[in-house]
Amino acid sequence: KAGVTQTPRYLIKTRGQQVTLSCSPISGHRSVSWYQQTPGQGLQFLFEYFSETQRNKGNFPGRFSGRQFSNSRSEMNVSTLELGDSALYLCASSPGTGGYEQYFGPGTRLTVT
Amino acid sequence: QQQVKQSPQSLIVQKGGISIINCAYENTAFDYFPWYQQFPGKGPALLIAIRPDVSEKKEGRFTISFNKSAKQFSLHIMDSQPGDSATYFCAANPMTTDSWGKFQFGAGTQVVVTP
């Protein structure tokens, strides 16, 4: 089975712009979670989607949003970018029901200048 | 506040030695405890995981020890190799519908295995 894929792998944006990141989960997996990873804060949960519905949300401002499509692919959007949004954004997929294992993609490195 | 506390922050071990990383938690609702390995520029890779109904799980050179009463679990890397040099994260989750996917991660341990 192919693993979790994320596009693009690298992004450079300017403060105030918005950005959309994409994630394709492992085939058959219905749950997609997003995390932000920074050296100072570590891995922090953003939100989780299952069957096109947001099931869980972390403590991030409303500038961070996401959605999931019927094929389980997910997108994450950050509006009005701030310098502090520079991070590695990781997507993880899991079966959603039954299996507990969560598998991460390679991440999208976002740099905000 | 960090719900899973991981130590040490870093460790150096000689090739062939044993690396031990510890994690402690407070939330007794946690029901699934995975360990991840991350190399620079890559996403975390699932190494091994345990549930509280067993005290130990071994996969190859990697072993998880779990102490439910102490609310602690640890990763042991036996016969450490230079290729094991990476950052290791512990994590936990109650695995209920309202927490699915919402893993709490430790701060990470950078392991360096010297030749």
Query: Exposure pattern of A22-43 as b/e (b: 16+ CB <10 Å)?
Result: ebbbbeebbbbbbbbbeeeebb
Percentage of chain B beyond pLDDT 70 is: 99
Q: Kindly determine whether residue B101 and residue A55, on different chains, have CB atoms separated by under 8 Å.
A: yes
State residue B43's pLDDT score. Answer: 95
User: Which DSSP string do the residues of A27-75 spell out, in sequence order?
Assistant: TT--EEEEEEEETTTEEEEEEEEETTEEEEE-S--TTEEEEE-TTS-EE
Q: Locate the chain A residue with the closest alpha carbon to B92.
A: A100
State residue A71's pLDDT score. Answer: 94
The whole-angstrom distance between A2's CA and the closest CA on chain B is 14
Site from B103, B104, B109 to mutate, A interface, most A CB atoms within 10 angstroms? B103
Tens-level pLDDT at each residue, chain A (113 residues): 679 999 999 999 999 999 999 999 999 999 999 999 999 899 999 999 999 999 999 999 999 999 999 999 999 999 999 999 999 999 999 987 766 789 999 999 999 99
Q: Kindly determine whether residue B102 and residue A42, on different chains, have CB atoms separated by under 8 Å.
A: no
State residue A2's pLDDT score. Answer: 79
The whole-angstrom distance between A4's CA and the closest CA on chain B is 10
Q: Does A24 touch chain B (CB under 8 A)?
A: no
Q: Does B105 touch chain A (CB under 8 A)?
A: yes
Q: Does B102 touch chain A (CB under 8 A)?
A: yes
pLDDT digits (tens, 9 = 90+) for B17-73: 999 999 999 999 999 999 999 999 899 999 999 999 999 999 999 999 999 999 999
The pLDDT mean for chain B works out to 94
Q: Does B44 touch chain A (CB under 8 A)?
A: yes
User: How far apart are the C-alpha atoms of B88 and A61, rounded to whole Å?
Assistant: 28
Q: Does B42 touch chain A (CB under 8 A)?
A: yes
State residue A13's pLDDT score. Answer: 98
Q: Which token pair is A49?
A: 């989607």
